[in-house]
Structures are given as structure tokens and as C-alpha cells.
Amino acid sequence: MVTMSDVAREAGVSVMTVSNVLNGRSNVGADTRLRVLEVVDELGYEINLTARRLRSGRTGTIGLIVPQFDLHYYGELASRISEALAPEGMHLVVEQSGASRERELSALSLARLQQYDGVLLSAVGLDMADLDRIHPDVPIVLLGEQAVPDRYHRVRMGNVAGARLATEHLIASGARRIAVLGGKLSAPHPEMATYRAGGWSEALERAGLPHGPGLVIPLRTYSIAEARASLAAAIGDGLEVDGVFAVTDEVAIGALAGLHDAGLRVPDDVQLAGFDNLGISQHLVPGLTTIDPDHPTMVAEALRLLRRQLKDPEAGPEHVVSDVSLIVRGTTRAPDVPPASG
């Protein structure tokens, strides 16, 4: 079995330095920390989480609870968080809730929370009353748009501002009948789809353009397949649009295929904008115009709020909203450029 002494010897540092790195302490230089972590990987050193908790009260593990693994957004989120934790010797465990209230409550049970130093939770099934009843000993940061009790720390996107920005760009680029794919005009509780539909509606109302229910195409899952089929079906049923705002990039990918299925060209016949700036978006043909919600800052802020609670369990809650920016690619035309003929 590889020991901490073996790691120290191979890395050319003291056992105390290895311990400091593996326990996420800040008194180690970046180069030394990286070298120790490389040796840990090379030698296959395994951290005993039970022993670590007994010594320090910490496991060195952060939990991330998300609704679905099969959405690119959550995969990229998990990757960013894992990369941010690695230099501190911290580990990420990702759980899938399936957007189920019961599974989210189970993930927040005392027995489960004892595995973690902190939890990042994207709750979909829980409501305000559920969250109000939970009083965990482990720091929690909520990710997303749900209504939450004031005592929780929270990080969310600028959903309304981003959707408004994307729609304003479509308008400036000449679109006049713009559908929202995946949006909802109302819902029992606040959620991503209602906020983004709200930004879409605001931009169109300001421009004096139609924005009624007839231009809203709802989705159940936000999957590529459902978005593709739903948009193609709506157009087949007579929906006439020259612009589509898709509430996520995955929905936009489905929209791109659905427009092709309907015999429409992007951006010549219909312009398209998404939201999330996923890595795959720049590799589509044409590249996807989208909203960048500043994922690096969101991850950094979420982890900062976890660390803040670990240092001071009585720290007052913070609510952080990320900035958004427009990334223009090939699915929209430049403002004032007419569509291609033919």
C-alpha cells in the first residue's frame, strides 16, 4: 500500500507538506501543490476519508446534486467544479436526482450529507417548504432559479437579462416573428423556462413585436430530440417564424436540426440563438449564437460560498447573479444584413 511517506519521498517534500496539500490548506505554493498531486496520481495513493474526518472533521469531498447526467450543461458544470477542486486536493462526487423530490430529499438526508464537506445543489423537485424544513450541518449552496428561503447561499444566472439580450440581437438582425422554444409563460414555481421566456417577452414587447402564447413552444425535457421534433411539428402545423430563441444550447441544437427537417435554412430563412455557450456550440455548422452566463465565475462563486460557510458556519447568506454576454456566431445575421436570396 502506498503511504504518505512514499508520496513525500517521490515528490521531494516533507510528509507535512503532502498532508497540507491533501487537506486543502493554503500554505503550499502552487508548483509544489501540483507536483504533490501529480505524484499522488502516479503512485495511486488513496486518501482514507474516514481517517481524515476523524482527524480534521473533513472528508475532502464536495457533493454536486443535479437533475440529469445526460444534459451537456451538467456535464460541463461537473467538469469545471472538479477542475477547480483538484489543486486543493478536494474531490467531487456527482449525484443524479432525476428531478425527483424524493431523491433530492434523500440526497440531503443526514446520513448522506456526512459524506461531504459541502454540497452544491441544483434542486428541481424541492419547493420552498421543503428547503425551509432542512437544517443541515453541512454547508449548502443552491444553484439555479427556484424560490429559496433567505438563509440559503445561492448562485444563479442572469436569465432574464440573457434572454432579453439574445432576443434583442435577433430583432436587430432583422427577425420579426420570433418564437421561444422551451419557454413557459407561467409556472407554479419560478424556474429557468419562465425567467428566460420573460426576457424574450420583454424584448419583443419593447420592440412592438408579437410575443403571445402562439409563439411559445413548450418542452418537457429540454432534450435535443424533443426540441427537434417539437419545432419541426410546430412549423409543419403552420407556425411561421423568422427567428427562434432556444432556452438552452441543447434545445438550440435540436432546433437547428428541426429547422433543417422543415426545409428551412439557418440563418437565411430563420435565425437562431441559444443560451449557455456550451463547448459544443462553437463546433456546430453554422456556429451557434448564444448567451454566455460566465460559468467560470459561477463555479468560483459557488465554491467561495462553500468555503465561507466552512470557515464561519454563522456567515450570513449571499445571493450571487452572474453577468451575461452575447456570443455572435453563424446562426444569426449581422444587423441590417438581408437574408440571402434563393
Cα–Cα distance measured from residue 144 to residue 59, given in angstroms and rounded to the nearest whole number: 26
326 beta partners: 291
Determine the pLDDT at residue 54: 45
Q: What is the model's pTM?
A: 0.80
User: Given this chain, do its domains 59-157+295-322 and 159-293 carry the same CATH topology?
Assistant: yes
Cα–Cα distance measured from residue 123 to residue 219, given in angstroms and rounded to the nearest whole number: 19
SS3 (DSSP) at 272: strand
Determine the pLDDT at residue 342: 45
The x, y and z cell numbers of residue 147, run together, are 424560490
Ramachandran angles phi, psi of 265, nearest 5°? -95, 140
Query: Can you list the residues of the chain whose pLDDT is less than 50?
Result: 50, 54, 341-342
Determine the pLDDT at residue 71: 84
- The CATH architecture to which 59-157+295-322 belongs is 3-Layer(aba) Sandwich (3.40)
Determine the pLDDT at residue 135: 67
The x, y and z cell numbers of residue 35, run together, are 507536483
Cβ neighbours around 132 below 10 Å, total: 14
- The CATH architecture to which 4-47 belongs is Orthogonal Bundle (1.10)
* Torsional sign, CA 319, 142, 288, 266: negative
Domain assignments of the chain as residue spans, ordered by start? 4-47, 59-157+295-322, 159-293
**CATH H superfamily, domain 159-293:** Response regulator (3.40.50.2300)
Cα–Cα distance measured from residue 118 to residue 247, given in angstroms and rounded to the nearest whole number: 30
Closest CA to 156 of 170, 174, 144, 141: 144
Cα–Cα distance measured from residue 190 to residue 147, given in angstroms and rounded to the nearest whole number: 6
The answer to whether residues 196 and 163 touch, using CB atoms and an 8 Å cutoff, is yes
* Torsional sign, CA 241, 242, 244, 249: positive
Determine the pLDDT at residue 1: 77
Closest CA to 48 of 3, 113, 114: 3
Determine the pLDDT at residue 314: 84
Determine the pLDDT at residue 268: 97
Cα–Cα distance measured from residue 139 to residue 318, given in angstroms and rounded to the nearest whole number: 13
Distant-in-sequence, close-in-space partners of 131: CB < 8 Å, separation ≥ 6: 123, 142, 146, 148, 149, 152
Closest CA to 259 of 278, 273, 247: 273
